[in-house]
Amino acid sequence: MQNCEPTQTPDVDIAALHEKYLHERDKRLRSDGQAQYLEAEDDFAEFYEGDPHLPVVPRQPITDDIDVVILGGGFCGLITAHRLQQAGVTDFKIVELGGDFGGVWYWNRYPGIQIDSDAYCYLPLLEETGFMPKEKFSKGDECFEHAQRIGEHFGLYDHALFHTLVQSLQWDGEINRWQITSNRGDAIRARFVIMCQGPYNRPKLPGIPGIKDFKGHTFHTARWDYDYTGGDLHGGLDKIGDKRIAVIGTGSSGVQAIPHLARGAKHLTVFQRTPSYIFERANYPTDPEWVQTLEPGWRAARQRNFHNAAFAFYNPGEPDLICDGWTEVARNMAAKLNATENFEGWAALADPAKFMELKEIEDYRSMERLRQRVEQIVEDPETAETLKPYYRNMCKRPVFNDEYLPTFNRPNVTLVDVSETKGVERITEKGVVANGVEYEVDCIVFASGFEITTALERQFDITPFAGRDGVSLYDHWGKGFRTLHGVMAHGFPNHFATGFVQGGVTASTTLMFEQQADHISYIIGEALRRDATFVEPTPEAEEGWVQTIREFAVDNSTFTTECTPGYYNSEGEPNGRSFLGDPFWGGFYELSDRLQAWRDTGELDGLVLDK
Ligand code: NAP
């Protein structure tokens, strides 16, 4: 494994940069916030419901009565299904829009797709399935294959209902079942429902005037059209040599796909509103000798180390096992503290303000390093300046790439800065208008992201979504999330949520799903064992958890509102939802301990069980 040294970062004028950051934010803030995006429906329904990977095979509608329906067959659904099995629950179905397991890794097969996070931490159930990723940052196909591996290993294919989109969810108090309808005409009754749809399930489109007028070809990165481009997720786009292509969006997806489009296309025009910040990829193959040294539980230790770097902090002398851009700021900060005799500098961290001050310095220095990296790679100074990110680390998702920046040295690539107009100005029949210039193109690729922090109705796309007495979940959570432990809500018996809502936050989303799956499978297992028709939190228990969330709340609003807009900060909306959805800031492992202690009593405290 690589030797993990701190990076060399330059001195910076923080006050001047802070001004620049605010200026760059103000330039991009839009009064329409999240509403600037179009839903993938009506004319654009295919951007969500269409499957370019597998044909939909006709089948008869299903009218089963089953114990548990899991919505979503990505890593969350797979982990949860496995945990249900461990809790002795066997009568469950996994309902999935895709034609196979994998979730984001089923859908997103754009060229260049690769994990941007440590695969040894991120890919779930490694020890259980006996699998080790081939490299630190797995390619997309390895992730998809691992989802299939989990499905096969635990016999989950027998439980799958693929190519099925749940359209409505209603609690039927007469029979104590959830009534579930789908786009395949299904009418399923389930005692329990678990939402495992993940945050990145539904593509969204930029609401650019004229978007419907374009007469050329279009697709979203999450539904790549290889019939049009040729090639596959490793590249080789050999059908677009005579095509002028436009890409709108330069986030994680755009950055990965753009080098391949540039290699294949006659001409590529990249419309950039905000540049991503791009670390070196620094990928490496898995070292078999390192694998030999691993003791059982190695992964949990690695995940905790990653968590410390991203959300807590290292202990004095603790090494950085992850050693990439995610951990650069923490690593550099720790290195300076470790350099003092007897680690005496660490004592200062007891003061949170001091901790934040030290972190801020390393953050500014690291971002300056990345801006210098742009300058070193991109030959044209004006283009290099446009590609420089002026915001703080973690305002946006870090990106890791060695091919993206050199792409702008190619003669067939044009970068168009659309920051001054807060986005692309207009789309016409023939192309894209920016800064008053029309760029005629044959195809527009939308790398415009997902319904991650938009309204819940948009994210779930399930209507009605109604609990007891027809109360909508969207109304129940309309003025703020209300849950018990982030997984259940009063008025929604036998219903379980997963994800970034009042739960624990850690560096690997799959670990968060594991924590939630442990809790959910325990509750369902107990409810079934105790022959309960339904289980539901009391209003008092729900209120108690809301208070716990408040008690540990961290005010990071200054940081968030000073970021350039994006889904991480709800496009800068004044009361926007953070990407992390009002989490339990008391600590991920503290939450694990609390939930475990709650389960250990066996009392199901705060839940009502009805027989
Ligand atoms: P994204 O980060 O939401 O990026 C959307 C892009 O579209 C942004 O660059 C945005 O610019 C741009 N855009 C939107 N409206 C525009 C307009 N009107 N004019 C011009 N540009 C416009 O979406 P994403 O790249 O698909 O990534 C989403 C998330 O998925 C990531 O943050 C990550 O969590 C996950 N992901 C992970 C990986 C990985 O691990 N390898 C890969 C892909 C995605 P602004 O920034 O100015 O808003």
User: Which CATH number fits the domain that encloses residue 236?
Assistant: 3.50.50.60
DSSP state string for 303-361: HHHHHHHHHS-PPTT---SS-SGGGHHHHHHHHHHHTSGGGGGGGGGGSHHHHHHHHHH
The protein residue whose alpha carbon is closest to atom 19 in ligand 1 is 423
* Same domain? 348 vs 413: no
* Same domain? 566 vs 479: yes
Q: Which atom of ligand 1 is nearest to the CA of 254?
A: 25
* Same domain? 31 vs 95: no
* Same domain? 551 vs 457: yes
Q: Determine what percent of the chain is predicted with pLDDT higher than 90.
A: 91
Centroid of ligand 1 to alpha carbon of 37 (angstroms): 12
* Same domain? 583 vs 503: yes
The protein residue whose alpha carbon is closest to atom 35 in ligand 1 is 252
In a domain, 140, yes or no: yes
Residue 134: φ, ψ to 5°? -75, -25
* Same domain? 110 vs 175: yes
Centroid of ligand 1 to alpha carbon of 204 (angstroms): 10
Please state the domain count of the chain.
3
Least confident segment among 76-85, 332-341, 528-537, 570-579 = 570-579
Token digits of residue 405: 């920046």
* Same domain? 77 vs 111: yes
Residue 184: φ, ψ to 5°? -100, 15
Mean pLDDT for 19-26 is: 98
In a domain, 14, yes or no: no
For the whole model, what pTM was predicted? 0.97
In a domain, 55, yes or no: no
* Same domain? 406 vs 527: no
In a domain, 306, yes or no: yes
Stated as kind and residue range, the H or E segment containing 84 is helix 75-86
Centroid of ligand 1 to alpha carbon of 250 (angstroms): 6
* Same domain? 471 vs 553: yes
The protein residue whose alpha carbon is closest to atom 5 in ligand 1 is 448
Q: Among residues 446, 461, 479, which one ends one of the domains?
A: 446
In a domain, 72, yes or no: yes
In a domain, 295, yes or no: yes
Average pLDDT over the chain, rounded to an integer: 96
The protein residue whose alpha carbon is closest to atom 8 in ligand 1 is 249
Report how far residue 140's alpha carbon sits from residue 253's, in angstroms, rounded to the nearest whole number.
Answer: 12
Centroid of ligand 1 to alpha carbon of 429 (angstroms): 24
Structural domain of 361:
283-388
Q: Which residues line ligand 1 (CB under 6 A)?
A: 28, 114-117, 200, 206, 208, 248-254, 271, 273-274, 397, 418, 423-424, 447-450, 566-567
Q: If pLDDT is split at 50, 70 and 90, which confidence band does 577 have?
A: low
Mean pLDDT for 232-260 is: 98
* Same domain? 219 vs 310: no
24-56 per-position pLDDT tens digit: 999 999 999 999 999 999 999 999 999 999 999
In a domain, 102, yes or no: yes
Per-range mean pLDDT, top range of 334-338, 451-455, 467-471 = 467-471
C-alpha distance from residue 138 to each of 79, 106, 124, 144, 436 (Å):
19, 14, 13, 10, 41
CA-closest candidate to residue 466, choices 184, 191, 178: 178
State yes or no: pLDDT of 574 exceeds 60: yes
Least confident segment among 425-429, 451-455, 494-498, 510-514 = 451-455
Mean pLDDT for 424-441 is: 98
In a domain, 11, yes or no: no
* Same domain? 173 vs 221: no
Stated as kind and residue range, the H or E segment containing 39 is strand 37-39
CA-closest candidate to residue 239, choices 264, 218, 268: 264
Least confident segment among 225-239, 258-272, 336-350, 557-571 = 336-350
* Same domain? 476 vs 603: yes
Q: Which of 273, 427, 573, 579 has the most ligand 1 atoms within 8 A of CB, as the residue to mutate?
A: 273
Report how far residue 249's alpha carbon sits from residue 205's, in angstroms, rounded to the nearest whole number.
Answer: 10
Task: Give the sheet arrangement for strand 431-434, strand by strand.
Answer: 426-427, 431-434, 437-440
Centroid of ligand 1 to alpha carbon of 248 (angstroms): 9
Centroid of ligand 1 to alpha carbon of 251 (angstroms): 4
CA-closest candidate to residue 439, choices 157, 247, 241: 247
The protein residue whose alpha carbon is closest to atom 22 in ligand 1 is 249
End-to-end Cα separation, the chain, in angstroms: 55
Q: Among residues 430, 446, 462, which one ends one of the domains?
A: 446
The widest CA-to-CA distance across the chain, in whole angstroms, is 72
Q: Are 81 and 91 in contact (CB under 8 A)?
A: no
Residue 461: φ, ψ to 5°? 55, 40
